[in-house]
Structure 1
Amino acid sequence: MNKAPKLRLGIDLGGTKTEVALLDQQGLVLERERLPTPQGDYPGTLNTIQQLIGRLEARHTLNGLALGIATPGSPSSIDGHMKNCNSICLNGKPLLTDLEQKLRRPVRLANDADCFALAEAHNGAAQEANSVFGVILGTGVGGGLVINKRLLQGPNHICGEWGHNPVALNALQPNAAFKPESLSAYEQERPCYCGKTNCVETWLSGPALSQSDWELGGKHHKRPAREIASASQAGESQASQAINHYTHILASALATVINIIDPEVIVLGGGLSKIDSLYEQLPDVLTPYVFSDEILNRIVPAQQGDSAGVIGAAYLWG
């Protein structure tokens, strides 16, 4: 008798939308559905997740199938309550316990960057690699580490949170196209919402690039990152300088990851990962920061797009 295919069930709990997906044994999406995420409404969020699972159960035999959920934060190692969520109604709430009781099935949680890394390691740009560091460069900066197709979370559930390490601006190395003193145009002390100053996120997120571009010129409104990237590609000097600075700071921050983990593949996701020049320039710019005579790590753009969260969540159970 042939065994039924192993199904995987995932939820991506985003700030604006909540998405469910059912995957087959090969990781192909059998079905997916989205609903708006209730803003600032914790009970409503639980009900939305229950509603999405209920709709799938009406069409598929799930039999208490284990659920993985990509969340905008992570559970505390102290009491299991949520922390570091930009959807602040989740902070301090026992999300895992509440969902297991409400859905009557096993549940695992991981932050959205972790699930992004899992998705790219299984079905995306790094599926041939044994070690993958997934990077989110968007409204915020996050990361996730996958070893042999399994997510490494750590005892504090913060593995990969490189976005809240400090940027060493005074350690940036000059080359023909970049002079560290050119950073003097910036307000160099950038407070972060986490309470520290000059975190990676304050220099490498989308809003951070907009801030850098504005501080270089200051004569126009703050432009979104995609507009700055387009202006740089068209040859505008101010935008090109902002992108150049961004690339060097990114190289310095990624070198720290490479020196500690040395992942085979670094996958870039989020809106800023669409800046094509990053993939052309980063290999050379990394050289003075990485403790090696050659750099064999591949840096590639993500393939899963906005599906990454829900697909990665479905792989939280292996």
Structure 2
Amino acid sequence: MRLGIDLGGSKIEIIALADDGNERLRRRIATPQGDYRATLAAIGRLVENTENELGQRGSVGLAIPGAESLATGLIKNANSTCLIGQPLRQDLQTLLQREIRLANDANCFALSEAIDGSGRGANIVFGVILGTGVGGGIVVHGRVLTGANAIAGEWGHNPLPPADGDNGPAPDCYCGHRGCVEAWLSGPAMARDHLINSGEALNAIEIEARANAGDAACSATLARYEARLGRALAGIINILDPDVIVLGGGLSKMQRLYRNLPAACGPHVFSDVFYNKILPPTHGDSSGVRGAAWLWN
């Protein structure tokens, strides 16, 4: 039995998968806010209660909103700031008395979709997170690619390639740089772009709904977004050339992306053909927790 845990900013979710990938149990609880020790205890209780209910001990994989430093073993780059600088893997191994496998939540998303989702059977899968932030994960032959600095797939902090006629100066990113992919392509970035260009404050869901109803300003915002996303993904394709790109996060629910992105990517891809598939996730919001379980694959 494989146990996967998705440690999010607002909730902690656990899933139990049988050896064939079928779900046996799923539970979620609220994440203790800003309290590292309480978070450890909450994870421990989830594992204990799950194993007691199923009468079986399982392997444990954990998806986190950050990364583990390969130099120190401490958590870095986490938007749940109470995790930063903490020996999370070591503490959980002590608490649960077993080896723990741990990965960034975007890597877990990509792994889930590569194992038994939209990227099943593909040699190379790039998993994209388009939501409050922008992230990514790379899976090659069923294995997460971590990289020398444990940042493989972090395309959200590459600069967005420029284009003639694009609107506005490069926006600031929380990482301290300007013009990062995340600063252009997150949900809040879409809302900011619409406000700048139309003077109307709408979120991404409202922009899509208005565009579908024929609103010209909202349609123009989505067209700019798709052009930028196409350029950003083309850079990934030129380097990695994945068989499948799976979109996740809140913005991945926009069905027009799957119709329009191949044409937006194509002119920027160094090839006479465009065989890369851009697909929605099979497991949706469950891919992170499922991927954590599949870290023991």
Q: Please report how far the alpha carbon of residue 195 of structure 1 lies from its aligned counterpart in structure 2 after TM superposition.
A: 1.0
TM-score, normalising length: structure 2: 0.97
Alignment of 1:57-76 (within 5 A): 57-63=51-57, 65-76=58-69
Mapped partners of 2:118, 2:139: distance in 1: 13
- Alignment match, 1:52: 46
The question of 1:118 aligning with 2:119 is answered no
- Residue 187 of structure 2 aligns to which amino acid in structure 1? G
- Alignment match, 1:26: 20
Mapped partners of 2:266, 2:6: distance in 1: 37
Mapped partners of 1:284, 1:121: distance in 2: 24
Cα deviations across residues 19-47 of structure 1 (Å, max 9, x unaligned)?
11110111111011111000111001001
Mapped partners of 2:50, 2:65: distance in 1: 23
Alignment of 1:103-142 (within 5 A): 103-142=96-135
Note the aligned Cα RMSD (angstroms): 1.1
Q: Please report how far the alpha carbon of residue 60 of structure 1 lies from its aligned counterpart in structure 2 after TM superposition.
A: 3.0
- Alignment match, 2:37: 43
The question of 1:279 aligning with 2:258 is answered yes
Cα deviations across residues 78-106 of structure 1 (Å, max 9, x unaligned)?
20100111111101111111110111111
TM-score, normalising length: structure 1: 0.91
- Alignment match, 1:175: none
The question of 1:196 aligning with 2:189 is answered no
In structure 1, the residue corresponding to 2:61 is in which secondary structure?
strand
Alignment of 1:1-318 (within 5 A): 7-63=1-57, 65-169=58-162, 172=163, 180-181=164-165, 183-184=166-167, 186=168, 188-218=169-199, 220=200, 222-318=201-297
- Give the gaps of 5 or more residues in structure 2: none
- Residue 142 of structure 2 aligns to which amino acid in structure 1? K
Q: 4+ runs of 1 displaced by more than 4 Å?
A: none
Mapped partners of 2:54, 2:252: distance in 1: 36
Q: Please report how far the alpha carbon of residue 59 of structure 1 lies from its aligned counterpart in structure 2 after TM superposition.
A: 2.1
Mapped partners of 2:221, 2:286: distance in 1: 30
Q: Please report how far the alpha carbon of residue 235 of structure 1 lies from its aligned counterpart in structure 2 after TM superposition.
A: 1.5
- Give the gaps of 5 or more residues in structure 1: 1-6, 173-179
Cα deviations across residues 221-280 of structure 1 (Å, max 9, x unaligned)?
x21101101111111111111101100110110011100110000000111111121111
Of structures 1 and 2, the larger Rg is shown by: 1
Mapped partners of 1:69, 1:287: distance in 2: 36
Mapped partners of 1:9, 1:17: distance in 2: 16
Mapped partners of 2:273, 2:85: distance in 1: 45
Q: Please report how far the alpha carbon of residue 61 of structure 1 lies from its aligned counterpart in structure 2 after TM superposition.
A: 4.0
Mapped partners of 1:150, 1:18: distance in 2: 24
